[in-house]
Amino acid sequence: MMKATQKLTGIKSMVTQAFNIDALCLCLCPSSKSLAHAAAQSVIQYLQQILSQQQTATLVLATGNSQIELLDILAATAEIDWSRIILFHLDEFLGIEAHESASFRYFLQERLLKQINPQHFYGIQGEAAEPLAECDRYTHLLTQHPIDLCFLGIGHNGHLAFNEPGVANFNDPYRVKIVKLAQQTRLTGVEQGYFPSLARVPQYAYTLTLSTILEAKKIVCLAFGKSKAKIVKEMLTGTINSSCPASGLRLHPHTTLFLDRDAASELDLSVFGKE
């Protein structure tokens, strides 16, 4: 296993154990609450560091239940100069408008954007009349603003953003693309209450590609709950390949994965190198 290069400055009191898994740093927290606070503190420290070195920082936001408490903490903090932060997000359903409650732009507006004043938020326009042109527009913006920090959650099938196992590519030639969603992913949208029925869940979505995500200078990924334990085990102990897109995070030298005890419950932690 490769030695992780990251340090846990300032968050050790919230992390019960830390491990190196290839290039990835795994932080184990006792609960989802402590996980969110540890992740938030690491984000605050990193953004402060970046802004001490450059005028602005570019942050890519994730959505979903894994991000709620993290975003709530960041929305309430006075330790980030949001006027110097440029925001993007990972993905959006095809054909959905920003005001619809299932839209990821709506999620981010309610959870974060209403409470802060970023320099700019660039949203993926899910309702765009020309979807391929929207991919080009977003690609151009990302090219202008290299990603300093990217938030992630892990899908039950190991997807990152909407890079499903069938379409994920660690060396994707595209920065943004349109993909067909796996049935399991669409069902999750219903189970979490974002859509009233499977028939209402779009079959396609925009996503930042894995190659774009892995270009980020730093990645902070969160997973909690027993429902994530199986895929976390596959991600961290299986072969690194696109059949489990999240496994690619083990190749990134500045990724920190925050897990609670439940998400880590199927791991044999004795085989990992301690931080």
Q: Which of 242, 144, 133 is nearest to 178 (CA)?
A: 133
pTM confidence score: 0.93
Q: Catalytic: which of 69, 92, 134, 157?
A: 157
Handedness of CA 136, 254, 105, 79 (dihedral sign): negative
pLDDT of residue 275: 61
Q: Catalytic: which of 20, 69, 89, 91?
A: 91
Residues 6+ apart with CB under 8 A from 74: 40, 43, 44, 80, 112
pLDDT of residue 272: 79
Give me the residues of the chain with pLDDT under 50, please: 1-8
Q: Catalytic: which of 148, 164, 172, 260?
A: 164
Residue 157 known to be catalytic: yes
pLDDT of residue 5: 38
Q: What is the CATH number of domain 27-215+239-256?
A: 3.40.50.1360
Which one-letter amino acid corresponds to residue 162? F
Q: Catalytic: which of 69, 159, 163, 260?
A: 159
pLDDT of residue 4: 37
pLDDT of residue 267: 95
pLDDT of residue 271: 77
pLDDT of residue 10: 54
Residue 91 known to be catalytic: yes
pLDDT of residue 12: 59
pLDDT of residue 3: 36
pLDDT of residue 273: 66
pLDDT of residue 257: 98
Domain boundary assignment for the chain: 27-215+239-256
Which one-letter amino acid corresponds to residue 174? Y
